[in-house]
Amino acid sequence: MSDRKPYDTNLAMGLGLIDETKELLQVWLPGQPAVELYQKVLSSGKLAGGSAYRLRNIVVRCFSPRYLIQNGAPASRLKILLPVLTASEMRQLLYLYTCRANPVLADFVREAYWEAYESSARVMTKESAEHFVRRAIDDGKTSSRWAEGQIERMGRYLMGCCSDFGLLGSRMKGGRLINTIRIEQKVVAYLAHDLHFSELGDNAILAHHDWKLFGLTREDVLEELKKLSLKGHFIIQAAGDVVRISWKQPSMEALCDVLSQG
């Protein structure tokens, strides 16, 4: 077992939850804990249509570990950006945080989805998702062995979450269509700065595994950052394997202000 937290089944509480997350971001106030947010949403009648139990699971077991970590920093930033980002840009940021909170999803995307994509497969099958889960269990990535029913359900959750975030398309014979996705430039800027302010060195940023969620190699990331440098986000110098970046923004909040201005 690695030092990463073991796979869990929190995806069962909600998959992408894109519309629900946008609604919760509008309601949430900085510093507000998950339980208080749940009570506020419950009493307001927002997100109606489900039980109080499901609403609590959405807020406490999905929204909170994705966006209320680090004293709510992700939620604060996304709340600023929500009115100004396109649907695709916001969806990609929610995808990033959902993967970070759910290692089983992140590894499935990096190890199974992109492998299928790069092999020119047209569809992703539920059998491939289940195979990924079984292999993960054998590799000790869960805290206990999952029953066959759990494996099958987790396979559906992984496929459904990838569908919510646009990696997979409509159902067809044999599985779901594999979509072509391309990371948005504002998402590149956001992720690069987020890694920078996590105190990673410039070269470590280019090689970080978060980029692989978007199918990007180190060379791809370097090209994306060069494009951003032309827009004045930072100054980048590359010589061989050594990259140096002069960052212009003093904080993520400052970056969000810049991104919100277009």
**Boundaries of every domain in the chain:** 10-83, 103-178, 185-260
Q: Which segments of the chain have a pLDDT < 70? A: 1-3, 48-49, 262
The pLDDT value recorded for residue 86 is: 97
Ordered DSSP codes for 107-146:
HHIIIIIHHHHHTT-SEE-HHHHHHHHHHHHHTT-BSSPP
pTM above 0.85, yes or no: yes
The pLDDT value recorded for residue 44 is: 84
The pLDDT value recorded for residue 200 is: 95
The pLDDT value recorded for residue 18 is: 96
Instruction: Return d(Cα 166, Cα 169) in angstroms, integer.
Output: 7
Instruction: Return d(Cα 254, Cα 84) in angstroms, integer.
Output: 15
The pLDDT value recorded for residue 2 is: 43
> Strand ranges (DSSP E) for 23-105?
none
Single-letter amino acid code for the residue at 217? T
The pLDDT value recorded for residue 1 is: 34
End-to-end CA distance of the chain: 44
Which H or E run includes 172?
Answer: strand 168-172
Residue given tokens 């569809």 in the structure block: 123
- Which is nearest to 207 in space by CA: 261, 260, 250, 243? 243
The pLDDT value recorded for residue 3 is: 57
Residue 98, helix vs strand vs coil: helix
